[in-house]
Amino acid sequence: MFIYLWDACHFHGVTDDAGRAREAAAACIVGGFASGARVESALLVSGFAHITYGYERTGQGWQGQGKDGHVTWRRFASQVAS
């Protein structure tokens, strides 16, 4: 299951929709709480022996920058070493 993790300065969140993640992060930028943000897709990882879960980042997502009340998003993808 894919989820989206977002970070904007001291604010963080998790959602099941990339657009909602960008909207939440953009609200922090437009509101003056952050100058930039990052949204990254992740896989929800659950344990079998115990009731545990976590997130494994995929290295793919968007980097957002704010200017004059608008946020510009740029896609990124980490290089995987072979």
Q: For residue 82, is it within any domain?
A: no
Residue 53 lies in a domain: yes
**Nearest-angstrom CA–CA distance, 30 and 26:** 6
The phi and psi torsions of 74 (rounded to 5 degrees) equal: -125, 130
pTM confidence score = 0.83
Residue 35: inside a domain: yes
In a domain, 18, yes or no: yes
Place of tokens 């990339």: 18
Q: Look at residue 13 and tell me if it is in a domain.
A: yes
CA atoms within a 13 Å half-sphere pointing along the CA-CB vector of 60: 8
**For the segment 32-73, what is each residue's pLDDT rounded down to a tens digit?**
999 999 999 999 887 776 666 788 899 999 999 999 889 999
